Chain A
Amino acid sequence: MDWILKVKTNENEALKEIYGLCRQDCLVWLQRDFGCSEDDALDIFQMSVLILYDNVIKGKLTTLSSNIKTYLFGIAKNKALEYLRDKRKNASDDITLVVNYVVQESQDDTVDHQISAAIVSLDKLGDPCKSVLQLYYYHDMSMEEITEKMGYKNADTTKNQKYKCLKRLQSIYSEHILKSTQD
């Protein structure tokens, strides 16, 4: 099966299949070989699936030289080693968990904080703006593709909508940063 194509075309269904295919073996392996607790093994496994997905969408993974399970276990191994090295967990929520695991290690705490603020702001922004921005920035869709997906009138409307959404997001984001520095 071409997992990469499937993730690109039907991402949620593909992720669910990969998740079900690898979950049990990966959790047992992480607990047995890396001494992870059950909860930490689950966190590491879920983060590994996320990274696999991210690599496909961002174009870092275009072909699989091994099967999907081997690739996923490779990611999980690196994440488990990070876990053993600095116990970077103690994540109290999903945002911290994602930032801890996915953001490059070179980022400093201030940047982590700003990125967390952007995630929170995006949640506050809500749909349809959140979806439009995710489709444009993350999925790298063209204005025409977004127009079709979101059911807008034309690409100009979409472009205008995207700009307004970005402005609103930036406003919520700045407010959030300001408030958190005051606190």
Chain B
Amino acid sequence: MKSSQDDIDLLNSYLKGRLGSADAAALQERLSIDSELYADFQDLKNIQEGIRLSVLKDKLEMMKKWENEAITKPKKNWGKWSLFTFLIILLGYFLYSIALKSKQEVPEEYKTLYASDFDKSLILHSTKRSINQVDTLSGAQRRAYEMYSIQLFDDAIPLLNELWVGQKDTLALFYLGVSHIGVGDKKQGLEILQKPELIKYSEQTNLFINH
């Protein structure tokens, strides 16, 4: 810009529409004969429009930022909720594991009985399956008793219960009581073992009742 500061101020006033008609006419006259002033006028006009649009561009960038925030925000929330859900699941798993563990664990006072004397004292049936000898166990009894024999009490309990309810199998009832204690349900196990139907197994039930 080669014009003086006063001329620039004059051009600014003209572009802002603040010159009186006489001053405006005088400036127009000068612009028509002074090529340097005219060049500055043209530059100033473009710069002024550029300034206007640069403000609008800044506002546009601001709006785009809002859009990005709107897009990223749910993700942030999603991340937060994912973490929360994950922690809840983890907590649930731990609580379940603890509950399962405490339930499945043989009570302390019976641990030796289940570990060392189970086969000798608590398996009362015999299985004989060969060409010459067969036992009298039904298929349902065999499945239930075998589960019990290998101490898979969770699997054995429904099968043994079926045998007791459906067939009044007292051995199944005895095994059911032992199985309940084996999964940590001492109360129900002892209730079963004290049933009068199990009087014939009193030697074995006393191992629990009089422990």
Tell whether, in the assembled complex, residue A53 and residue B51 are in contact, meaning their CB atoms are under 8 Å apart: no
**1/0 per position for B48-77, CB-CB distance to A under 8 A?**
111111111101111110110000000000
Q: Is the CB of B8 within 8 A of A53?
A: no
Tell me how many residues of B have a C-beta within 8 Å of chain A.
Answer: 26
Residues from chain A with a CB closer than 8 A to the CB of B48 are: 137
CB distance A54 to B52 under 8 Å?
A: yes
Q: Are A140 and B51 in contact (CB under 8 A)?
A: no
Chain B nearest Cβ from A93, distance in angstroms: 9
B43 interface residue per 8 A CB criterion? yes
A181 to B18, CA, bound (A): 34
Task: Please determine whether A166 and B57 come into contact, CB atoms closer than 8 angstroms.
Answer: no
User: B55 contacts A115, CB within 8 Å?
Assistant: no
Task: Compute how far the CA of A50 lies from the CA of B8 in the bound complex, rounded to whole angstroms.
Answer: 29
Which residues of A are found within 8 Å of B52, using beta-carbon distances? 54, 58, 137-138
Partner of B63, one of A49, A103, A111: A49
A158 to B59, CA, bound (A): 25
A166 and B55 within 8 A (CB): no
Main secondary structure of the interface of A (DSSP, over half): helix
Q: Mark A112-139, 1 if CB is under 8 A from B, else 0.
A: 0011111101110000001001100110
Q: Does A68 contact B (CB under 8 A)?
A: no
Q: Hey, which chain B residues are within 8 Å of A117, CB to CB?
A: 46, 50
- Measured between beta carbons, the chain A residues less than 8 angstroms from B66 are 16, 19
Q: CB of B98 within 8 A of chain A?
A: no
A12 within 8 A of B: yes
Complex partner residue of A134 from B43, B55, B63, CB under 8 angstroms: B55
Residue among B8, B43, B67 with the most chain A CB within 10 A? B43
Please tell me if the beta carbons of B53 and A166 are within 8 angstroms of each other in the complex.
Answer: no
* Any A CB within 8 A of the CB of B165: no
In the complex, which residues of chain A have a beta carbon less than 8 angstroms from the beta carbon of B61?
94
What is the predominant secondary structure among interface residues of chain B facing chain A?
helix
A134-178 Cβ-contact flags toward B at 8 Å (1 or 0): 100110100000000000000000000001001101100110000
Could you tell me if B56 and A121 are in contact, using CB atoms closer than 8 angstroms? no
A98 touches B60 (CB 8 A): yes
A64 to B47, CA, bound (A): 31
| Total cross-chain contacts (CB, 8 A) | 94
B1/A166 in contact, CB under 8 A? yes
In the bound complex, do residue A118 and residue B16 qualify as a contact, i.e. CB atoms below 8 Å apart? no
- Give the distance to chain A from B19, nearest Cβ to Cβ, in Å: 15
Q: Residue A36 at the B interface, CB < 8 A?
A: no
Q: Which residues of B are found within 8 Å of A15, using beta-carbon distances?
A: 59, 62-63
Residues of B within 8 A of A42 (CB): 67
Let me know if A28 is at the binding interface, CB within 8 A: no
In Å, the complex CA distance between A95 and B53 comes to 8
Question: B201: shortest Cβ distance to chain A, in Å?
Answer: 76
Cβ of A75 within 8 Å of any chain B Cβ, yes or no, is no
Are B57 and A95 touching (Cβ within 8 A)? yes
The docked-state distance in angstroms from the alpha carbon of A16 to that of B56 is: 14
Contact B55 A103 (CB under 8 A): no
Partner of A98, one of B16, B47, B53: B53
The closest CB in chain B to the CB of A53 belongs to B59
Interface residues of A (CB under 8 A from B): 12, 15-16, 19, 42, 46-47, 49-50, 53-54, 58, 94-95, 97-99, 102-103, 111, 114-119, 121-123, 130, 133-134, 137-138, 140, 163, 166-167, 169-170, 173-174
Q: Mind listing 20 A-B residue pairs with CB under 8 Å? A: A12-B62, A15-B59, A49-B63, A50-B56, A53-B59, A58-B52, A94-B57, A95-B53, A97-B60, A98-B53, A99-B53, A118-B51, A118-B53, A118-B54, A121-B47, A123-B54, A138-B52, A138-B55, A166-B47, A169-B47
